[in-house]
Structure 1
Amino acid sequence: MADVPYPPNRRSFLVTTGLVAGSAVVAGTAEPALAAARRAPGTLPADPFTLGVASGDPAPDGFVIWTRLALRPLAEDGLGGMPDQAFQVRWEVASDDRFRKIERRGTANARPESAHSVHVELKGLRHGRDYWYRFRVGDHVSPVGRALTAPRDDSFGPELAMAFVSCSQFEHGLFTAYRRLAEEHPDLILHLGDYQYEYKKGSYTIPGGNVRDHEGPETVTLAGYRQRHAQYKSDLDLQAAHAAAPWLVIWDDHETENNWAAEIPEANSDTPDPADFRERRAAAFQAYYENMPLRRSSVPHGPEMQLYRRIRWGRLANFHMLDTRQYRDDQGCGDGYKDCPAAVDPQRSITGDAQEKWLIDGFRRSTARWDVIGQQVFFAQRDNNAGPLKVTSMDSWDGYVASRDRITKGWTDAGVRNPVVLTGDVHAHWASDIKADFDDPGSRTIGAELVCSSITTGGDGTDSNPAAHPFLQINPHLRFYNNQRGYVISRIGKEEMRSDFKTLPTVRTADAQASTKATFVVEDRVPGVKQTYLRPLASTKSARSADDLIRETVENETRRP
């Protein structure tokens, strides 16, 4: 059977249309109006769709649509100023952005015990199609979001425009990069972690001062995590990115606490007792589910949550979304950049045994053209010492060398056609070849890694000359570095995966424009990355010493409040 083409209005969606129709209003609601709402069940005195809408985890016949009701998103109790009652939310899914042809409609209950969030899992839709969705409560109508279904399992479908992002620290800048990403009209967005940050106001500052402030204390309780998610979701640029396309989300550390590992908090944690940290995990996990477009298979059970999963995009790609926090062994040698014997301990794992087996089994079963691993921390080796000692980050796969070796052996033994690792966490753009033996520059290249910078974390950063960075000189498999903020957008076809590394000159102004700093291509059956474009250096700050560049990189990645 021939592939079914996408409808002609595939690119017609305008991000701003839905946001204007249901613009987010963060202002408070008077207590008398709330009292009236309590007396009249099912009615609300103001627009409850202040946190926007989202979709996620697409399948050939459906996807998840999400919203959360909040009259006052920054309410200290984390419940968004909502009355303590359930509300019936009507939803609609249409095959056109004006909702002339409704494909599905129904109702869902938004309950106070789930912070009035709604997750609707759609099935029975046509494969490889654009859809639009919206919600209603009483007379209030939500913004409009765009979702799409994956191609049929036996079909490649057209080229996939896939973007990936990470690390959006609200205090460090405006979320302009999310807006610019939405304007690119991607088909799929991967968020690779640090969607929000747990710190209280002013404890994580950048040179020149923070651009805006967190509300509330450090997030430890369920109320605190709910409030923080609501503050982030109130940002209209973030709402635009959620409305533009379905998301595949995975967490890193800051959705719970900086550098946590399994049931072990960080050294200077606000919850140092393991029992208290388990309670904190449970609160963070509950709030994360409530605020993300996830399927019911990811509903948390106390301090446990099934988040690693596989999304199939027809025959074109498998997306293996990993959780490298919940099951890892503790970081070796007290964390940080170290020459650490624990890093090569064959018993240590960053994924845990069950997830590792699941991933390798997925490689064996794969018939996809591209196997894309969406995960959090740097995968390729990065030695920052030109001498005989190997000094690497204990929080990355360098701290779990045997675990990395088992994964790469898994994909080579399985004959994976095109393995590509996507990474966030490190607040800078990187591209690298994955080697069979990183200590032997002449060893076989067996894959590629693409790393996105942060949306805001770290502030503006600086434009960078990749050739001048000592990491690239010490590690010849590292091919690119840039320390500005931005995102990566990749176009995945049968013959190649072409990735544009987008950067913004500043995160302090809403009118900043994104431009392509570099373009890298991974060709079908040709492991590794090939640079096809590099924009000339715009900054004179690149004439820094090697020591300064190493210090900048390490400090960028090892934040401690």
Structure 2
Amino acid sequence: MDRIHEHSEELRAAARHFGRRRFLTATGAAAALAFATQLPAAGAAAAAQLDGRRLSEYPFTLGVASGDPLPGSVVLWTRLAPRPFEPDGGLPANRVTVYWELARDERFTRPVRHGTVTAHPEFRHTVHVEVDHLDAGRGFFYRFRVGAWTSPVGRTRTAPAPGAHNTALTLAAVSCQAYHDGYFTAYRHLAAEDVDVVFHLGDYLYEYAVNATGGARAYTDRVLPALFDRETLSLEDYRLRYALYKSDPDLRAAHAAHPFVVTWDDHETENNYAGDTPENGVPPEEFLLRRAAAYRAYWEHQPLRAPQRPVGPDMRLYRRLRFGRLAQFDILDTRQYRSDQAYGDGWRVPGPESENPARTMTGATQERWLLDGWRSSGARWNVLPQQVVLSQRRDRATADFKLSMDSWDGYPAARQRILAGARAAGVENLMVLTGDVHVGHAFDIKADFRDPSSRTLGTEIVATSIASGRDGADRLSNHDQLMGANPHLKFFNGRRGYVKVALGTESARADFRTVPYVTRPGAPVTTAASFVTQVGDQGLTPA
């Protein structure tokens, strides 16, 4: 992935002009991003208004979405893009007024809220509506209108009220949706599931080139334009890539059916980056310009609130959501603040470099935020949606085993601090939700992974990919080796799909839902395995 196309010259020029020290200040970062992407600077005259009645083409091609439910609020999202595969989305550089509606029924005969929001060309005509003063724990329907055009109807819901004695919550966890590896069929099935919220655990898109046939999507007659056949580097590249992914009808259906809570991993920016250290050997200041572009496009295209809006290369994505007394969700960001991977990344024999106690996965500020949040949590379940595998994964049972330096195995001191913090806070029912590895895993989280008889501190549920890795297999070639080397690993499946988790007051159940293929459309969905863990007695048993 050393190819740097013509857009990188723009990034190099901006990096040379601003320099790293100035770039790392908030104002310098914003100025550098404006310089690199030709966005208007602060104080510039606002774009002219475009009358929505003049739109001659359907603008809601990328669907609708909602997310980050609070007890009295939810975020609604859409983007106006009559021609989504064009750099400007098929719209001029004008502001457009968008009308939104929220109702209790799908026909909108019982309206709840309505209003208008401006779609700005500077944000490629994406809109984020934070609807407040709603009833807690209720379902709603929403839609948008511009001129004569009406969007698809979306369904969303608010979180239960603080202190509510709610007894059940069903969530789904998804990750890793490489467009070029196959169809998003699992999303079509997820759209039909009865879940309260979906957690996307990273790799919403991939930065790699997508050829004219869409890679493995050989069953489509759609020919993609050449602008997708290059790695994403510039802001326009990332915006176009989101347009490509959101053009998928199954992904749009899942977004319309359920509120999403999103966090990123690496591919939304670049494979295996760590903090300001890129995978490739480009200067950090140049990479930070790329990171700024990736973060901006991510915020633009996800149902995120105003506090998550990035400033240059910085974006606070970690945040906390509470669902009554039943569950607290602490959503982590394990990319933006981490130390560089030890021993050059990959699977390596652990040693002094990886075991250095100064190494961090989350950064000190986020780590303190997490531990403080656990200390003040009164929830029955403390759930940690995050990106990379937390539990130990030895690649073999012999003494010369290797570990993944990109996962928490490459940051064991940071993992130990997190688990010690959970114990000190009295967290009894800990569940970690993970993506990244394109397989389904179920782990018991041990106090000492070297000792299978040590206390089980919680459970880790790893959601397989939506498409990444293509069809996969129920039993991969390293199945027996990995299971034998890790007694705390209870399940290993290599198909595509998602996980559905039902939290209750006495137990939780995880269903691993898989499809047999993604390289052609229309796959059915089955439950590959189900596990249960009991409140106050952590550890996974087959359901």
What stretches of structure 1 move > 6 A for 4+ residues in a row? 203-214
Structure 1 CA distance for aligned equivalents of residues 232 and 204 of structure 2: 14
Aligned to 2:332: 322
Which one of 164, 167, 170 corresponds to residue 155 of structure 1? 164
2:251 paired residue among 238, 241, 246? 238
How big is the shift at 1:340?
Answer: 3.2
Whether 2:347 is the aligned partner of 1:337: answer yes
Residue 346 of structure 2 contacts residue 405 of structure 2 at CA under 8 Å; is this kept in 1? yes
User: What is residue 260 of structure 2 aligned with on the other side?
Assistant: 247
Q: Hey, what does 1:357 align to over in structure 2? A: 368
2:193 is equivalent to residue 184 of structure 1: yes
Amino acid at match of 2:359: R
Partners of 2:52 and 2:146 within 8 A in 1: no
Equivalent residues of 2:218, 2:520 under 8 A apart: no
Instruction: Tell me how far 1:300 sits from its aligned partner.
Output: 0.3
Q: Does 1:59 align with 2:51?
A: no
CA distance in 1 between partners of 2:350 and 2:108 (Å): 59
2:432 is the counterpart of 1:421: yes
Q: Deviations over 1:301-343 (max 9, x none)?
A: 0000010000001101011100000000000001000013222
Deviation at 1:510, TM superposition (A): 2.4
| Paired residues of 1:202 and 1:210 also in contact (CA < 8 A) | no
Displacement of 1:204 in angstroms is 13
SS at structure 2 position matched to 1:304: coil
AA in 1 matched with 2:204? Y
Alpha-carbon distance in 1 for matches of 2:397, 2:218: 34
Partner letter of residue 505 of structure 2?
K
User: What CA deviation, in whole Å up to 9, does each residue of 1:275-315 have, x standing for no partner?
Assistant: 11111000000000000000000000000001000000110
SS of aligned partner of 1:343: coil
Q: Describe the shift of the 1:306–1:202 C-alpha distance in structure 2 as closer, same or farther (beyond 3 A).
A: same
Aligned to 2:413: 402
| SS of residue in 2 equivalent to 1:248 | strand
Structure 1 residue 62 displacement after superposition = 1.2
Separation in 2 of the partners of 1:87 and 1:205? 32
Shift of 1:390: 3.5
SS at match of 1:226: helix
In the TM superposition, what whole-angstrom CA distance separates every residue of 1:448-473 from its partner, at most 9, and x where no partner exists?
A: 00001000001000122899521111
Q: Letter of the aligned partner of 1:142 in structure 2?
A: S
Quote the residue 1:385 is aligned against.
Answer: 396
Give the whole-Å Cα distance in 2 for the aligned partners of 1:462 and 1:203: 27
Q: Distance in 1 between matches of 2:288 and 2:280?
A: 15
Task: Report which stretch shifted further, 242-251 or 150-159.
Answer: 150-159
Q: What is the DSSP-based 3-state SS (H/G/I as helix, E as strand, rest coil) of the residue aligned with 1:64?
A: strand
Q: Does 1:474 align with 2:485?
A: yes
Paired residue for 2:125, among 94, 116, 120?
Answer: 116
Report the Cα distance in structure 2 between the residues aligned to 1:335 and 1:382, rounded to whole angstroms: 15
Superposed, 1:437-456 pairs within 5 Å as 437-456=448-467
Residue 158 of structure 1, CA deviation: 4.5
**Separation of aligned partners in 2, 1:377 and 1:180:** 25
CA distance in 1, matches of 2:433, 2:213: 26
- Alignment-derived partner of residue 313 in structure 1: 323
| Residues 147-183 of structure 1 deviation map (CA, whole Å, 9 limit, x = unaligned) | 1011111113252110000000001111110111111
Contact 1:321–1:373 under 8 Å retained in 2: yes
- Alpha-carbon distance in structure 2 between the residues aligned to 1:156 and 1:145: 28
Residue of structure 2 in register with 1:299 after alignment: 309
Give yes or no for the alignment of 1:218 onto 2:256. Answer: no
Give the 3-state SS of the residue equivalent to 2:411 in structure 1: helix
Q: 1:492 aligns with which of 503, 506, 509?
A: 503
- The 2-side partners of 1:226 and 1:397 are apart by 31
* Partners of 1:204 and 1:432 in 2: CA distance: 38
Contact 1:38 1:83 in 2 (8 A): no
Separation in 1, partners of 2:451, 2:332? 28
Contact 1:380 1:434 in 2 (8 A): yes
Whole-Å separation in 2 of the counterparts to 1:109 and 1:126: 25
Output the amino acid matched with 1:276: E
| 1:230 CA displacement | 0.5
Distance in 1, matches of 2:540 and 2:212, equals: 38
Offset of 1:530 from its aligned partner? Answer: 1.3
Could you tell me whether the CA contact under 8 Å between 1:502 and 1:516 is conserved in 2? yes
Counterpart in 1 of 2:381? 370
- Structure 2: unaligned runs, 5 residues or longer: 1-47
Q: 1:329 to 1:204 in 2, by over 3 A?
A: farther
Could you tell me which residue of structure 2 aligns to residue 16 of structure 1? none
Aligned to 1:198: 207
The amino acid of 2:419's aligned partner reads T
The number of residues matched between the two structures is 491
> Which of 225, 239, 256 lines up with 2:269 in the alignment?
256
How far apart are residue 444 of structure 1 and its match?
A: 1.0
From 76, 80, 94, the counterpart of 1:85:
94
The CA deviation at 1:217 is 1.8
**Structure 1 residue 48, shift from structure 2 partner:** 0.3
Change over 3 Å in CA distance of 1:491–1:326 after alignment to 2? same
Structure 2 equivalent of residue 32 of structure 1:
none
Deviation at 1:405, TM superposition (A): 0.2
TM-score (norm: length of structure 2):
0.87
> Which secondary structure does the structure 1 equivalent of 2:252 belong to?
helix
Partners of 1:371 and 1:331 in 2: CA distance: 28
Cα distance between partner residues in 1 of 2:246 and 2:493: 28
Check the 8 A contact 1:435/1:477 in 2, yes or no.
yes
| Deviation of 1:115 (Å) | 0.6
Q: After superposition, what is the alpha-carbon deviation per residue over 1:522-553, rounded to whole angstroms, capped at 9, x for unaligned?
A: 11111121112xxxxxxxxxxxxxxxxxxxxx
The aligned amino acid for 2:125 is: H
Task: Name the CA distance, whole Å, in 1 between partners of 2:338 and 2:415.
Answer: 12
Q: CA-to-partner distance for each residue in 1:338-378, whole Å, 9 max, x for gaps?
A: 01322211000000000000000011001000000000001
Please tell me whether residue 282 in structure 1 is matched to residue 295 in structure 2: no
Which digits, 9 at most, give the CA deviation of each residue in 1:16-45, with x for residues without a partner? xxxxxxxxxxxxxxxxxxxxx998665211
Shift of 1:508: 2.4
Does residue 515 in structure 1 map to residue 540 in structure 2? Answer: no
Give the secondary-structure state (helix, strand or coil) at the position aligned to 2:354: helix
1:51 alignment partner AA: L
1:103 paired to 2:116: no
**For the residues of structure 2 that align with 1:508 and 1:356, how far apart are their CA atoms?**
40
Within the candidate set 483, 488, 497, 2:494 is matched to: 483
Distance 1:209 1:40 in 2: 40
